[in-house]
A = this chain, B = another copy of it.
Protein backbone atom coordinates (compact mmCIF):
# COMPACT_ATOMS: atom_id res chain seq x y z
CA UNK A 1 0.00 0.00 0.00
CA UNK A 2 1.40 3.40 -0.88
CA UNK A 3 1.99 6.14 1.63
CA UNK A 4 -0.73 8.80 2.00
CA UNK A 5 0.28 12.16 3.44
CA UNK A 6 -3.40 13.11 3.62
CA UNK A 7 -4.06 10.15 5.90
CA UNK A 8 -1.01 10.99 8.02
CA UNK A 9 -2.24 14.57 8.45
CA UNK A 10 -5.72 13.31 9.41
CA UNK A 11 -4.20 10.96 11.98
CA UNK A 12 -2.15 13.85 13.34
CA UNK A 13 -5.29 16.00 13.57
CA UNK A 14 -7.02 13.26 15.52
CA UNK A 15 -4.07 12.94 17.88
CA UNK A 16 -3.95 16.73 18.30
CA UNK A 17 -7.26 16.71 20.16
CA UNK A 18 -5.90 14.36 22.81
CA UNK A 19 -2.43 15.88 23.19
CA UNK A 20 -4.04 19.29 23.57
CA UNK A 21 -5.60 18.03 26.76
CA UNK A 22 -2.65 16.27 28.38
CA UNK A 23 -1.57 17.72 31.69
CA UNK A 24 1.88 19.25 32.04
CA UNK A 25 2.90 16.25 34.17
CA UNK A 26 1.82 13.80 31.46
CA UNK A 27 3.72 15.72 28.80
CA UNK A 28 6.86 15.96 30.92
CA UNK A 29 6.71 12.25 31.68
CA UNK A 30 6.47 11.55 27.96
CA UNK A 31 9.44 13.81 27.24
CA UNK A 32 11.52 12.03 29.86
CA UNK A 33 10.50 8.67 28.41
CA UNK A 34 11.43 9.87 24.92
CA UNK A 35 14.85 10.96 26.16
CA UNK A 36 15.45 7.65 27.91
CA UNK A 37 14.35 5.68 24.86
CA UNK A 38 16.81 7.48 22.58
CA UNK A 39 19.69 6.55 24.88
CA UNK A 40 18.43 2.97 25.31
CA UNK A 41 18.23 2.53 21.53
CA UNK A 42 21.62 4.08 20.78
CA UNK A 43 22.91 1.03 18.90
CA UNK A 44 19.86 0.81 16.67
CA UNK A 45 19.99 4.55 15.96
CA UNK A 46 23.69 4.37 15.03
CA UNK A 47 22.97 1.46 12.70
CA UNK A 48 20.26 3.33 10.81
CA UNK A 49 22.33 6.53 10.83
CA UNK A 50 25.14 4.56 9.20
CA UNK A 51 22.83 3.78 6.25
CA UNK A 52 22.33 7.55 5.73
CA UNK A 53 26.08 8.15 6.03
CA UNK A 54 26.92 5.47 3.47
CA UNK A 55 24.31 6.81 1.05
CA UNK A 56 25.51 10.36 1.69
CA UNK A 57 29.07 9.49 0.79
CA UNK A 58 27.90 7.66 -2.33
CA UNK A 59 25.89 10.72 -3.30
CA UNK A 60 28.89 12.98 -2.85
CA UNK A 61 27.86 14.97 0.23
CA UNK A 62 30.64 17.24 1.47
CA UNK A 63 32.53 16.38 4.64
CA UNK A 64 30.72 19.18 6.45
CA UNK A 65 27.36 17.77 5.41
CA UNK A 66 28.37 14.28 6.43
CA UNK A 67 29.44 15.63 9.79
CA UNK A 68 26.08 17.34 10.31
CA UNK A 69 24.38 14.08 9.46
CA UNK A 70 26.50 11.90 11.75
CA UNK A 71 25.14 10.71 15.08
CA UNK A 72 27.45 9.39 17.82
CA UNK A 73 26.67 8.03 21.29
CA UNK A 74 27.64 11.47 22.63
CA UNK A 75 25.39 13.33 20.24
CA UNK A 76 22.51 11.01 21.07
CA UNK A 77 23.07 11.71 24.77
CA UNK A 78 23.10 15.45 24.00
CA UNK A 79 19.83 15.03 22.16
CA UNK A 80 18.31 13.18 25.12
CA UNK A 81 19.51 15.97 27.39
CA UNK A 82 17.87 18.54 25.13
CA UNK A 83 14.54 16.69 25.48
CA UNK A 84 14.95 16.54 29.24
CA UNK A 85 15.54 20.30 29.27
CA UNK A 86 12.18 20.84 27.57
CA UNK A 87 10.53 19.35 30.68
CA UNK A 88 11.94 22.34 32.59
CA UNK A 89 10.24 24.92 30.33
CA UNK A 90 6.96 26.39 31.58
CA UNK A 91 3.88 24.93 29.86
CA UNK A 92 2.03 27.76 28.08
CA UNK A 93 -1.21 25.81 27.61
CA UNK A 94 -4.26 26.59 29.72
CA UNK A 95 -3.17 29.94 31.12
CA UNK A 96 -6.09 32.36 31.26
CA UNK A 97 -5.20 36.03 30.89
CA UNK A 98 -7.15 39.23 31.37
CA UNK A 99 -10.32 37.72 32.85
CA UNK A 100 -12.63 40.68 33.26
CA UNK A 101 -16.29 41.22 34.10
CA UNK A 102 -18.56 42.77 31.50
CA UNK A 103 -21.34 45.14 32.60
CA UNK A 104 -23.88 42.29 32.36
CA UNK A 105 -21.86 40.12 34.74
CA UNK A 106 -20.27 37.78 32.18
CA UNK A 107 -16.60 37.04 32.82
CA UNK A 108 -14.52 37.28 29.63
CA UNK A 109 -10.89 36.18 29.37
CA UNK A 110 -8.43 34.56 26.97
CA UNK A 111 -7.10 31.04 27.35
CA UNK A 112 -3.90 29.87 25.72
CA UNK A 113 -4.39 26.74 23.58
CA UNK A 114 -2.21 24.75 21.15
CA UNK A 115 -2.35 25.61 17.46
CA UNK A 116 -3.28 22.01 16.61
CA UNK A 117 -1.07 20.36 14.00
CA UNK A 118 2.27 21.86 13.03
CA UNK A 119 4.28 20.73 10.03
CA UNK A 120 8.03 21.21 9.99
CA UNK A 121 9.87 21.07 6.68
CA UNK A 122 13.62 21.00 7.13
CA UNK A 123 16.79 20.02 5.45
CA UNK A 124 19.23 19.76 8.24
CA UNK A 125 20.48 17.51 11.02
CA UNK A 126 18.45 14.57 12.35
CA UNK A 127 18.37 16.07 15.86
CA UNK A 128 15.84 18.62 14.57
CA UNK A 129 13.43 15.68 14.38
CA UNK A 130 13.57 14.97 18.10
CA UNK A 131 13.89 18.58 19.25
CA UNK A 132 10.94 19.85 17.18
CA UNK A 133 8.84 16.87 18.28
CA UNK A 134 9.60 17.69 21.91
CA UNK A 135 8.69 21.38 21.62
CA UNK A 136 5.45 20.61 19.76
CA UNK A 137 4.46 17.98 22.33
CA UNK A 138 5.20 20.26 25.30
CA UNK A 139 3.02 22.96 23.74
CA UNK A 140 0.20 20.43 23.20
CA UNK A 141 0.50 20.19 19.43
CA UNK A 142 0.73 17.24 17.09
CA UNK A 143 3.54 17.52 14.54
CA UNK A 144 4.23 16.30 11.02
CA UNK A 145 7.97 16.23 10.38
CA UNK A 146 9.27 16.23 6.85
CA UNK A 147 13.05 16.12 6.96
CA UNK A 148 15.58 15.86 4.17
CA UNK A 149 16.09 12.76 2.07
CA UNK A 150 19.71 12.43 3.19
CA UNK A 151 18.65 11.90 6.84
CA UNK A 152 15.63 9.70 6.20
CA UNK A 153 16.75 6.50 7.96
CA UNK A 154 17.98 8.48 10.95
CA UNK A 155 14.73 10.41 11.15
CA UNK A 156 12.64 7.26 10.89
CA UNK A 157 14.51 5.42 13.61
CA UNK A 158 14.28 8.46 15.91
CA UNK A 159 10.53 8.53 15.23
CA UNK A 160 10.32 4.83 16.05
CA UNK A 161 11.99 5.41 19.42
CA UNK A 162 9.75 8.38 20.21
CA UNK A 163 6.67 6.33 19.27
CA UNK A 164 7.71 3.53 21.63
CA UNK A 165 7.97 6.07 24.43
CA UNK A 166 4.60 7.65 23.58
CA UNK A 167 2.84 4.28 23.48
CA UNK A 168 4.33 3.34 26.87
CA UNK A 169 2.89 6.60 28.20
CA UNK A 170 -0.55 5.93 26.68
CA UNK A 171 -0.24 8.82 24.26
CA UNK A 172 -1.44 8.55 20.66
CA UNK A 173 1.80 8.00 18.67
CA UNK A 174 0.35 9.97 15.76
CA UNK A 175 1.13 13.06 17.82
CA UNK A 176 4.59 12.75 16.22
CA UNK A 177 4.55 11.82 12.53
CA UNK A 178 7.67 11.53 10.38
CA UNK A 179 6.97 11.57 6.65
CA UNK A 180 8.59 8.41 5.26
CA UNK A 181 8.47 9.54 1.64
CA UNK A 182 10.69 12.49 0.78
CA UNK A 183 9.39 12.82 -2.75
CA UNK A 184 8.70 16.44 -3.71
CA UNK A 185 5.14 15.55 -4.72
CA UNK A 186 4.39 14.44 -1.16
CA UNK A 187 5.64 17.77 0.21
CA UNK A 188 3.59 19.62 -2.37
CA UNK A 189 0.47 17.74 -1.28
CA UNK A 190 1.27 18.38 2.38
CA UNK A 191 1.18 22.13 1.70
CA UNK A 192 -2.43 21.87 0.51
CA UNK A 193 -3.82 20.07 3.57
CA UNK A 194 -5.19 23.17 5.27
CA UNK A 195 -8.02 21.28 6.96
CA UNK A 196 -5.62 19.16 8.97
CA UNK A 197 -2.45 21.27 9.32
CA UNK A 198 -2.53 24.66 11.02
CA UNK A 199 0.97 25.99 10.47
CA UNK A 200 4.07 25.18 8.44
CA UNK A 201 7.52 26.05 9.76
CA UNK A 202 10.18 25.63 7.08
CA UNK A 203 13.79 25.58 8.22
CA UNK A 204 16.53 25.76 5.67
CA UNK A 205 17.86 27.91 2.89
CA UNK A 206 16.08 30.89 1.39
CA UNK A 207 15.10 28.77 -1.64
CA UNK A 208 13.20 26.27 0.48
CA UNK A 209 11.44 29.00 2.43
CA UNK A 210 10.42 30.89 -0.71
CA UNK A 211 9.18 27.68 -2.29
CA UNK A 212 7.03 26.85 0.73
CA UNK A 213 5.76 30.43 1.10
CA UNK A 214 4.73 30.67 -2.52
CA UNK A 215 3.08 27.28 -2.74
CA UNK A 216 1.48 26.71 0.64
CA UNK A 217 -2.24 27.03 1.28
CA UNK A 218 -1.38 26.82 4.97
CA UNK A 219 0.07 29.75 6.95
CA UNK A 220 3.86 29.69 6.90
CA UNK A 221 6.36 31.14 9.36
CA UNK A 222 8.80 33.02 7.19
CA UNK A 223 12.44 33.45 7.97
CA UNK A 224 14.11 34.60 4.83
CA UNK A 225 17.38 36.04 6.03
CA UNK A 226 19.09 38.02 8.73
CA UNK A 227 20.81 41.15 7.49
CA UNK A 228 21.67 42.46 10.95
CA UNK A 229 22.91 46.03 11.32
CA UNK A 230 25.08 47.78 13.89
CA UNK A 231 24.69 51.56 13.95
CA UNK A 232 27.47 53.40 15.79
CA UNK A 233 26.02 56.71 16.91
CA UNK A 234 27.77 60.07 17.30
CA UNK A 235 29.41 60.19 20.71
CA UNK A 236 29.25 56.39 21.19
CA UNK A 237 31.75 54.59 23.38
CA UNK A 238 34.40 53.69 20.81
CA UNK A 239 35.58 50.56 22.58
CA UNK A 240 32.01 49.31 23.03
CA UNK A 241 31.35 49.93 19.34
CA UNK A 242 34.43 47.88 18.44
CA UNK A 243 33.43 45.09 20.83
CA UNK A 244 29.93 44.89 19.37
CA UNK A 245 31.31 44.95 15.82
CA UNK A 246 33.89 42.28 16.46
CA UNK A 247 31.54 40.03 18.42
CA UNK A 248 28.65 40.50 15.99
CA UNK A 249 30.71 39.80 12.89
CA UNK A 250 33.34 37.29 13.97
CA UNK A 251 32.24 35.40 17.11
CA UNK A 252 30.45 33.05 14.76
CA UNK A 253 29.77 33.51 11.06
CA UNK A 254 27.27 31.56 9.02
CA UNK A 255 24.46 32.26 11.49
CA UNK A 256 21.52 34.57 10.92
CA UNK A 257 22.22 36.81 13.91
CA UNK A 258 25.75 37.77 12.86
CA UNK A 259 26.31 41.33 11.63
CA UNK A 260 26.20 42.03 7.91
CA UNK A 261 26.19 45.85 7.76
CA UNK A 262 27.94 48.53 9.82
CA UNK A 263 26.43 52.03 9.79
CA UNK A 264 28.58 54.80 11.23
CA UNK A 265 27.50 58.35 12.05
CA UNK A 266 29.73 60.79 10.12
CA UNK A 267 30.59 62.63 13.31
CA UNK A 268 32.34 59.60 14.75
CA UNK A 269 33.61 58.07 11.49
CA UNK A 270 37.08 59.59 11.69
CA UNK A 271 37.62 58.25 15.21
CA UNK A 272 35.88 54.91 14.80
CA UNK A 273 36.65 53.66 11.31
CA UNK A 274 40.47 53.45 11.54
CA UNK A 275 40.13 51.26 14.63
CA UNK A 276 37.32 49.24 13.03
CA UNK A 277 39.50 48.76 9.94
CA UNK A 278 42.33 47.43 12.06
CA UNK A 279 40.08 45.06 14.01
CA UNK A 280 38.45 43.73 10.85
CA UNK A 281 41.81 43.29 9.09
CA UNK A 282 43.13 41.26 12.04
CA UNK A 283 40.22 38.85 11.66
CA UNK A 284 40.52 38.78 7.88
CA UNK A 285 37.10 40.31 7.30
CA UNK A 286 36.47 41.41 3.74
CA UNK A 287 35.02 44.93 3.50
CA UNK A 288 32.40 46.33 1.10
CA UNK A 289 32.62 50.05 1.78
CA UNK A 290 30.64 53.10 0.71
CA UNK A 291 32.44 56.05 -0.92
CA UNK A 292 32.83 57.92 2.35
CA UNK A 293 34.32 55.00 4.25
CA UNK A 294 36.40 53.18 1.64
CA UNK A 295 39.45 55.33 2.33
CA UNK A 296 39.74 53.96 5.85
CA UNK A 297 40.20 50.36 4.74
CA UNK A 298 42.94 48.55 2.89
CA UNK A 299 41.73 46.31 0.06
CA UNK A 300 38.07 47.23 0.55
CA UNK A 301 35.71 46.77 -2.36
CA UNK A 302 33.33 49.54 -3.34
CA UNK A 303 29.88 48.65 -2.01
CA UNK A 304 27.09 48.27 -4.57
CA UNK A 305 23.35 48.37 -3.94
CA UNK A 306 23.38 44.58 -3.58
CA UNK A 307 25.68 44.85 -0.58
CA UNK A 308 23.01 46.64 1.47
CA UNK A 309 20.79 43.56 1.02
CA UNK A 310 23.51 40.96 1.36
CA UNK A 311 23.52 38.22 3.98
CA UNK A 312 27.17 37.21 3.59
CA UNK A 313 27.17 34.48 6.26
CA UNK A 314 30.94 34.77 6.04
CA UNK A 315 33.81 37.01 7.11
CA UNK A 316 32.49 39.92 5.03
CA UNK A 317 30.74 43.12 6.01
CA UNK A 318 29.22 46.16 4.32
CA UNK A 319 30.15 49.57 5.75
CA UNK A 320 28.33 52.86 5.27
CA UNK A 321 28.81 56.33 6.74
CA UNK A 322 25.48 58.06 7.35
CA UNK A 323 24.83 61.77 7.79
CA UNK A 324 22.95 61.51 11.04
CA UNK A 325 20.67 59.42 13.22
CA UNK A 326 17.68 59.84 10.90
CA UNK A 327 19.72 58.60 7.96
CA UNK A 328 20.47 55.39 9.87
CA UNK A 329 16.73 54.86 10.43
CA UNK A 330 16.00 55.54 6.77
CA UNK A 331 18.63 53.00 5.74
CA UNK A 332 16.95 50.45 7.99
CA UNK A 333 13.47 51.26 6.67
CA UNK A 334 14.76 50.49 3.20
CA UNK A 335 17.11 47.56 3.79
CA UNK A 336 16.15 45.88 7.06
CA UNK A 337 15.44 42.18 6.76
CA UNK A 338 13.26 42.38 9.86
CA UNK A 339 15.69 40.34 11.94
CA UNK A 340 17.96 42.23 14.38
CA UNK A 341 19.36 45.77 14.55
CA UNK A 342 21.70 47.24 17.14
CA UNK A 343 22.48 50.82 18.12
CA UNK A 344 25.65 51.66 20.01
CA UNK A 345 25.03 54.98 21.76
CA UNK A 346 25.45 56.96 24.97
CA UNK A 347 22.47 59.17 24.17
CA UNK A 348 19.26 58.48 26.10
CA UNK A 349 16.86 60.06 23.61
CA UNK A 350 18.36 58.38 20.56
CA UNK A 351 18.44 54.99 22.30
CA UNK A 352 14.70 55.34 22.96
CA UNK A 353 13.97 56.61 19.49
CA UNK A 354 15.90 53.74 17.87
CA UNK A 355 13.93 51.22 19.94
CA UNK A 356 10.66 52.92 19.03
CA UNK A 357 11.24 53.52 15.32
CA UNK A 358 13.12 50.45 14.12
CA UNK A 359 10.55 47.76 13.45
CA UNK A 360 12.73 44.67 13.21
CA UNK A 361 11.94 41.61 15.32
CA UNK A 362 14.77 42.30 17.73
CA UNK A 363 15.99 45.83 18.45
CA UNK A 364 18.98 46.21 20.73
CA UNK A 365 20.78 49.01 22.52
CA UNK A 366 24.44 48.40 23.36
CA UNK A 367 24.33 44.61 23.06
CA UNK A 368 25.68 42.15 20.51
CA UNK A 369 23.37 40.97 17.70
CA UNK A 370 24.60 37.47 18.55
CA UNK A 371 22.20 37.47 21.52
CA UNK A 372 19.28 37.40 19.10
CA UNK A 373 18.19 33.83 19.68
CA UNK A 374 15.55 32.13 21.75
CA UNK A 375 17.91 30.68 24.33
CA UNK A 376 19.83 33.92 24.85
CA UNK A 377 16.65 35.99 25.11
CA UNK A 378 15.22 33.67 27.72
CA UNK A 379 12.62 31.73 25.72
CA UNK A 380 14.23 28.36 26.28
CA UNK A 381 14.59 26.25 23.17
CA UNK A 382 13.74 27.86 19.86
CA UNK A 383 11.56 26.30 17.17
CA UNK A 384 12.40 28.96 14.57
CA UNK A 385 12.74 32.67 13.96
CA UNK A 386 10.04 34.67 12.21
CA UNK A 387 11.03 37.71 10.19
CA UNK A 388 7.47 38.48 9.15
CA UNK A 389 5.15 40.10 11.63
CA UNK A 390 2.13 37.85 11.49
CA UNK A 391 1.49 35.50 14.41
CA UNK A 392 5.07 35.59 15.72
CA UNK A 393 7.96 37.96 15.19
CA UNK A 394 11.52 37.06 16.10
CA UNK A 395 12.75 33.98 17.97
CA UNK A 396 9.87 31.58 18.63
CA UNK A 397 9.58 29.66 21.87
CA UNK A 398 6.80 27.42 23.11
CA UNK A 399 4.30 30.27 23.38
CA UNK A 400 4.59 30.88 19.63
CA UNK A 401 3.17 27.40 19.09
CA UNK A 402 -0.04 28.40 20.83
CA UNK A 403 -2.87 30.86 20.31
CA UNK A 404 -5.55 32.33 22.57
CA UNK A 405 -9.27 31.63 22.51
CA UNK A 406 -11.92 33.69 24.28
CA UNK A 407 -13.55 32.13 27.30
CA UNK A 408 -16.90 33.45 28.52
CA UNK A 409 -18.36 32.40 31.87
CA UNK A 410 -21.97 33.45 32.24
CA UNK A 411 -25.01 32.61 34.28
CA UNK A 412 -27.71 32.78 31.66
CA UNK A 413 -27.00 36.12 29.98
CA UNK A 414 -28.83 36.77 26.72
CA UNK A 415 -28.51 39.69 24.34
CA UNK A 416 -31.28 42.24 24.07
Interface residues of A (CB under 8 A from B): 17, 20-21, 94, 100, 102, 106, 108, 111, 113-116, 198-199, 213-214, 217, 219, 237, 240, 243-244, 246-247, 251, 333, 351, 355-357, 359-368, 370-372, 376-378, 388-391, 393-395, 403-416
- Take A356-B94, A413-B371 as given contacts and tell me if A408 and B362 are in contact as well, using a CB distance cutoff of 8 Å: yes
Question: Are A404 and B415 in contact, CB atoms less than 8 angstroms apart?
Answer: no
Give complex CA distance A394, B113 in Å. 13
Question: Are A376 and B415 in contact, CB atoms less than 8 angstroms apart?
Answer: yes
Smallest CB-CB separation from A370: which chain B residue?
Answer: B415
Question: Are B376 and A102 in contact, CB atoms less than 8 angstroms apart?
Answer: yes
Question: Are B390 and A199 in contact, CB atoms less than 8 angstroms apart?
Answer: yes
Chain B residues with CB below 8 A from A108, complex form: 377-378
Chain B residues with CB below 8 A from A243, complex form: 412, 414
- Take A333-B17, A403-B393 as given contacts and tell me if A410 and B367 are in contact as well, using a CB distance cutoff of 8 Å: yes
Question: Are B198 and A389 in contact, CB atoms less than 8 angstroms apart?
Answer: yes
Chain B residues with CB below 8 A from A106, complex form: 367, 371
Give complex CA distance A175, B413 in Å. 40
How many copies of this protein are present in the complex?
2
Question: Are B361 and A405 in contact, CB atoms less than 8 angstroms apart?
Answer: yes
Which of A106, A213, A366, A367 is packed against the most chain B CB atoms within 10 Å?
A: A367
Determine which of B362, B405, B409 lies in contact with A393 in the assembled complex, contact meaning CB atoms within 8 Å.
B405
Chain B residues with CB below 8 A from A217, complex form: 213-214
Some 5 contacts from A to B, beta carbons below 8 A apart, are: A17-B333, A20-B357, A102-B378, A240-B412, A371-B410
Which of A94, A243, A366 is packed against the most chain B CB atoms within 10 Å?
A: A366
Chain B residues with CB below 8 A from A361, complex form: 405-406
Question: Are B366 and A251 in contact, CB atoms less than 8 angstroms apart?
Answer: no
Smallest CB-CB separation from A403: which chain B residue?
Answer: B389
Which of A116, A362, A408 is packed against the most chain B CB atoms within 10 Å?
A: A408
Which of A20, A244, A351, A376 is packed against the most chain B CB atoms within 10 Å?
A: A376
Question: Are A247 and B414 in contact, CB atoms less than 8 angstroms apart?
Answer: yes
Give complex CA distance A366, B370 in Å. 51
Give complex CA distance A388, B390 in Å. 13
Give complex CA distance A106, B414 in Å. 50
Question: Are A364 and B395 in contact, CB atoms less than 8 angstroms apart?
Answer: no
Give complex CA distance A378, B240 in Å. 47
Chain B proximity of A361: nearest CB distance (Å): 5
Which of A17, A114, A406 is packed against the most chain B CB atoms within 10 Å?
A: A406
Question: Are B411 and A394 in contact, CB atoms less than 8 angstroms apart?
Answer: no
Question: Are B365 and A410 in contact, CB atoms less than 8 angstroms apart?
Answer: yes
Question: Are A21 and B403 in contact, CB atoms less than 8 angstroms apart?
Answer: no
Question: Are B412 and A237 in contact, CB atoms less than 8 angstroms apart?
Answer: yes
Determine which of B213, B247, B411 lies in contact with A366 in the assembled complex, contact meaning CB atoms within 8 Å.
B411
Question: Are B198 and A408 in contact, CB atoms less than 8 angstroms apart?
Answer: no
Chain B proximity of A336: nearest CB distance (Å): 11
Chain B residues with CB below 8 A from A393, complex form: 403-405
Besides the known contacts A115-B389, A364-B407, 18 further A-B residue pairs in the complex with CB atoms under 8 A apart: A17-B333, A17-B359, A20-B357, A21-B357, A106-B367, A108-B377, A108-B378, A113-B359, A114-B359, A198-B388, A219-B219, A243-B412, A247-B414, A355-B409, A368-B415, A371-B408, A376-B415, A393-B405
Which of A100, A198, A217, A407 is packed against the most chain B CB atoms within 10 Å?
A: A407
Question: Are B20 and A390 in contact, CB atoms less than 8 angstroms apart?
Answer: no
Chain B proximity of A98: nearest CB distance (Å): 9
- Take A371-B106, A390-B391, A414-B247 as given contacts and tell me if A364 and B21 are in contact as well, using a CB distance cutoff of 8 Å: no
Give complex CA distance A356, B362 in Å. 33
Chain B proximity of A136: nearest CB distance (Å): 14
